[in-house]
Structure 1
Amino acid sequence: MARNIFNQPPKDDQQAAAPSPAPAKPAKLSGSVGGLRDSLREITANSIRDIDPAQIDMDGLRDRLVLEDSSIDELAESIRKHGQQVPIMVRPSNQPDRYRIVYGRRRLAAIRKVGGAVKAIVRTLDDDASLIAQGQENNLRLDPSFIEKSLFIKEMQEAGYKPGVIQDALGLTRQGVSNHRVVIEQLPAQLIHLIGPAHGIGRRQWGDLAAFSEKANLVEIAGETIATLPGDTPSSEKFNAVYAACSSKVRGAAKSTSRGTTTVVNDENGSYVGTLAIDDKAIAVKVARKDNPEFSQWFEKRAEATLKQLFEEWRNEHGTGS
Structure 2
Amino acid sequence: MKWIRHRRSVGPVLGRSVSILITAFLTTVMTFGLIHLVPGGPAEALIGVSSTDVDPAVIEQRLGLDKPLYEQYLRWLSGVVHGDLGTSLVNNAPVADQVLHRLPVSAELVGLALALSAVVAVPLGVWTAYRAGRRSDGVVRAVSGIGLAVPEFFLAIVLIDVFAVGLGLFPALGYVPFGKDPVANLRHLALPAAALAAGASAIVVRQVRAAMIDALSSEYVRAARAMGLRERTIVWRYALRNVSTTVVTVYGLLAIGLLGATVVLEQIFVLPGMSGALVTAIETRDYPMLQGIVLTYVVIVLGINLVVDVATGFLDPRLRAGANA
Please indicate, yes or no, whether the TM-score normalized by the shorter chain is above 0.5. no
Structure 1 or 2: larger helix share? Answer: 2
TM-score by length of 1: 0.21
Which is higher, the Rg of structure 1 or of structure 2?
A: 1
Structure 1 or 2: larger strand share? Answer: 1
Q: Which structure exhibits the higher relative contact order, with contacts defined as CA atoms closer than 8 Å and separated by 6 or more residues?
A: 2
TM-score by length of 2: 0.21
